[in-house]
Amino acid sequence: MNAIARIPHLRPLAAAILMTVGASAVAQTYAPPPAPAAPAAPAYDSGDPANANLAPIDRSPQPPPPLPVYTQPPAPDDGYMWVPGYWSLNRYGYFWVPGAWVLAPYTGALWTPGYWGFVDGVYLWHAGYWGPHIGFYGGINYGFGYIGIGFVGGYWDHDRFFYNRAVTNVNVTRVTNVYNHTVVVNNNIDNRRISYNGGPAGIQRRADPREVAARNEPHRPPTDVQRGFARDAGGNRGQFFDRNQGRPPQAFVDHAPPQGQRPGGGPGNGPNGAGPGARPDMNRGNPCMERM
């Protein structure tokens, strides 16, 4: 049989090969797309499902506990602003975020603390912020200059912050921008340690026109350092009210860095977080209003 005679016998084989290749191409072309990648874990829980319970919650049917009594460590350096401690919440319950000195994010920045407020049957968290003026923070007397109305712990003069030693713990060998301004008790200041606004037993105060105006100014959220303090407290079972019954082991951050270094945020090592050199609280139990 010659080569020409063999050609018809090759056609079925070629056709089979072509059909196989074509089927493979069709299969590759119409194969289902790969499953989408799993979404990235929230930054808060670092990929650990158990840590999702540490994420903060901004509402609760139960009010936050009373504010603890604690001391204020000395200001570590110029330009640091006192951020008072507060009760935060996650799925494990209320936990205490320690008070701390925080470097102001920009010249002229003032910290308006966050607060819990009773709204429509639940307690809602209103986050704090940085801004050019102190806004409304629920009338909560956090102490150390945050008396529920404004702030009497100091003021900015151009690019320098001056600290009122009457209500603020300042080591004058480290910080020299100080003054003493006498403050007096005012009937508008709530002397109790209530940590929330409104509700059956909360502080009954509303924002005044100046605080409303401050609320509408440009704001900045808490700094990374502040968020770190809150995150660490939420992962420390000793900071939870059900464990400490209102006496958190780290009530404040003890700033004691070597000269020329910024504070690292270590815990205090005395009762209620009191570290070496901390002096008695100058504002707790004697909340006061600046004399106008």
Residue 82: its pLDDT value, please? 97
In this structure, is residue 16 part of a structural domain?
Answer: no
Task: Please tell me the total count of domains within the chain.
Answer: 1
Helix or strand or coil: residue 230?
Answer: helix
Tell me phi and psi for residue 60, to 5 degrees: -155, 145
Is residue 31 in some structural domain? no
The verdict on residue 234 lying in a domain is yes
Name every residue whose Cβ is closer than 8 Å to that of residue 195 and which is 6 or more positions away in sequence: 63, 64, 65, 66, 67, 86, 87, 115, 116, 140
User: Which residue blocks in 122-215 are alpha helix, DSSP H?
Assistant: 209-215
The answer to the question of residue 12 being in a domain is no
Residue 235 domain-assigned? Answer: yes
Domain of 164 in residue numbering reads as: 59-290
Pull the structure tokens for residue 35: 């499953």
What is the distance between the terminal CA atoms of the chain, rounded to a whole angstrom?
121
The whole-number mean pLDDT for each consecutive block of 10 residues of the chain, a chain of 292 residues, reads 48 45 37 42 46 81 96 94 97 96 97 97 97 97 94 95 95 93 74 92 94 95 96 95 96 69 38 34 34 29
Sorted by sequence, the CB contacts under 8 Å of residue 109 that are 6+ apart come out as 81, 130, 131, 132, 220
In a domain, residue 53? The reply is: no
Pairing of strands 115-119, 154-157: unpaired
What's the pLDDT at 69?
A: 94
What is the distance between the alpha carbons of residues 72 and 112, in angstroms, rounded to a whole number? 18
